[in-house]
Structure 1
Amino acid sequence: MGIGNIFKAFQPKDKVFFVLFEKVAETLVSMSKEFHESLLEFDINDDTMLKDMSDYEHKLDDLTHEIFVQLGENFITPFDREDISTLASGLDDIADFMYASAKYIYLYKTPLDPSYTEFSLLIYKSCVEIENAIKNMKDFKNPREVKESCIKINSFENIADDVLSQATVKLFETQDAINIIKIKSVLEYLETVTDKAEDVANTIENIIIKYA
């Protein structure tokens, strides 16, 4: 191998990682949008949404796997390898818990709680801001825009905490023990999605602090 090729082999693979992260974020936006819209017109006898959520989750697993493959193959990375790993895992967690929320909504076959769509809208908005943040991370040229998106995601998570509290209070007022257990479980899965989005925002913000 000539000296030129050796140098090229050790050049940072910024485009590879940022392209993959952007694909993950874009897929999360599509997944969360469909999740929210499906809950607005929910039919317990139609499992199309559950199948679609499963497909999205598998697609995101594949993208996450590819990020780790690239991490193993590339000596130089656009930012810390540990941060790349944490960000990839965090984004994958959002998809996992979103799919789990959809799965238990179908498995439990309980009446659709009004707060489900409040959560799904917050999840969708969080994913949109994650996509914005990741796009603005490229080359670390727009740190202010990245931080603004992270602040919005943290705000959505705070709202989700309030939604969970209020929904739980109303749920216990029904005094239907079986449904309380089932619906409370789904509510906690939904709220966890917003927690995972906040974790991603914190990871992104830490990366920006280091490199911008």
Structure 2
Amino acid sequence: MGIGNIFKAFQPKDKVFFVLFEKVADNLVKMSQEFHDGMLDFDLNDDSLLKKMSDYEHKLDDLTHEIFVQLGENFITPFDREDINMLASGLDDIADYIYASSKYIFLYKTPDVKEFSEFSLLIHKSCVEIQNAIKHLNGFTNTAEVKESCIKINSFENIADDVLSQGLVRLFETGDAINIIKTKHVLEYLEIVTDKAEDVANTIENIIIKYA
């Protein structure tokens, strides 16, 4: 191997990892937008939304796997391997829980409740801010923008807590035990999505503290 190739082999693989992370974030935005659109135009007799969520979940699994493959093949990384692992896993968790939420909505044949679309909007907004944070994380050139997105994601999670509380109060007032059990499960899964987004924001903030 020539000296040029040796040098190239040990150059940081920022481009590889950031390209993959940006692809994941782009797909999360698309997935969450489709999910929100589906909650706004809710139809239990049309399971096309569930199929779309399954396709996105598989696509994001493949991207996450590729990040881990690159992690195993590259000696030098743009930031700690542990942080790359945590960020990739956190992003994958968001996709997993969006899909799980849609799955339970259709498996339980859960009736339409207004909190579904309120959650889906908060989820989409969180994914948009994750996309923005990851875009500006590349090269650590605009940490203020990254921090601002993380703050917004944390605020969305706080709002989601209130949506869950209000939704549960309204749900229990119906007195329909079977519907309460089913809908409560879905609402809690939707709230977990915002928790996972907050986890990603916290991971990104920790990366900024270490490297910016």
Place the TM-score, normalised by the shorter chain, in its bin. Answer: over 0.9
Is residue 37 from structure 1 mapped to residue 37 from structure 2 by the alignment? yes
Matched letter for residue 50 of structure 2: L
Q: Which residue of 2 aligns with 1:110?
A: 110
Question: How far has the Cα of 1:15 moved from its partner?
Answer: 0.3
Matches within 5 A, 1:1-212: 1-212=1-212
> C-alpha distance in 1, partners of 2:16/2:47?
35
Q: Secondary structure at the match of 1:76?
A: coil
Matched letter for residue 12 of structure 1: P
> C-alpha distance in 2, partners of 1:24/1:180?
34
Instruction: List structure 1 segments (4+ residues) > 2 angstroms apart after TM superposition.
Output: none
Which stretch shifts more, 168-177 or 1-10? 1-10
Report Cα offsets for 1:13-65 as digits up to 9, x if no partner: 10000000000000000000000001111111110000000000000000000
Question: How far has the Cα of 1:5 moved from its partner?
Answer: 1.0
Question: How far has the Cα of 1:110 moved from its partner?
Answer: 2.2
Matched letter for residue 179 of structure 1: N
> C-alpha distance in 2, partners of 1:193/1:111?
20
Report Cα offsets for 1:54-90 as digits up to 9, x if no partner: 0000000000000000000000000000000000000
> C-alpha distance in 2, partners of 1:147/1:44?
39
> C-alpha distance in 2, partners of 1:175/1:41?
26
Matched letter for residue 11 of structure 1: Q
Name the TM-score, length of structure 2 as normaliser.
0.99
Matched letter for residue 197 of structure 1: A
> C-alpha distance in 1, partners of 2:210/2:126?
23
> C-alpha distance in 2, partners of 1:5/1:125?
43
> C-alpha distance in 2, partners of 1:38/1:206?
34
> C-alpha distance in 1, partners of 2:134/2:202?
12
Matched letter for residue 86 of structure 2: T
Which stretch shifts more, 201-210 or 4-13? 4-13
Q: Secondary structure at the match of 1:190?
A: helix
Question: How far has the Cα of 1:6 moved from its partner?
Answer: 1.1
Q: Secondary structure at the match of 2:133?
A: helix
Question: How far has the Cα of 1:115 moved from its partner?
Answer: 0.3
Percent same amino acid at aligned positions?
Answer: 81
